[in-house]
Each structure stands twice: as structure tokens, then as C-alpha cells.
Amino acid sequence: MAIMKAIPSLALPAILALCLLASPATAETVMNERNIVELRLGQRILVDDGTCPAGQIKEVSGAQMTESGVLRVRKCVPRLGTKQKR
């Protein structure tokens, strides 16, 4: 109880908000779409299997909830990464 009195009333919600924002927002990258076992609604996974044109990578995302599970949507998106000097 003494700890709760030491923390101001606004400090605890601020600490919780910072913890939630600290989680990584990057997409997971796999080499083959068969490696995606469970895809959650809204989750995005980058698949580097060579099916997209140069400079792009396949993005598999859980787009819609259906009776049989999460519907997967595939599209090619620009490959983001470190720029190389030419």
C-alpha cells in the first residue's frame, strides 16, 4: 500500500501506456508461406519467396474473419530496408 501512495495518480497510467507503445511494430519475415501456421486478424507477415518483382516483397495479412478461420490476403509491397550505396 505504501508503494501506491508514493506513485502519483497519473504516473501509473503513463507507465502502462509506455509499456504498450514499446512493443515492436515490425512485420515478421519468413522464407516460405507454408511456414505461416497461425495468422491472426490484422497480422502482417512478409514472405521472401521470390514471387514478387524486384524491389518488392510478398505481404500476407489476415484480412477478414470467416467461418473457417482468418482469410489471407496476399499482395506485393515495396521492400523496405537499408539503402545501399551505388
Q: Which residue has the cell 491472426?
A: 40
Spatial separation of the C-alpha atoms in residues 46 and 36, rounded to whole Å? 10
- Rounded (5°) CA angle 86-54-81: 60
Spatial separation of the C-alpha atoms in residues 1 and 47, rounded to whole Å? 50
Spatial separation of the C-alpha atoms in residues 45 and 39, rounded to whole Å? 9
Instruction: Determine the pLDDT at residue 32.
Output: 86
Spatial separation of the C-alpha atoms in residues 16 and 85, rounded to whole Å? 41
Taking all residues of the chain, what is their mean pLDDT, rounded to a whole number?
77
pLDDT above 60 (res 35): yes
Check: pTM over 0.75? Answer yes or no: no
Confidence of residue 44 (pLDDT cuts 50, 70, 90): very high
Domain-by-domain residue ranges, the chain?
24-86
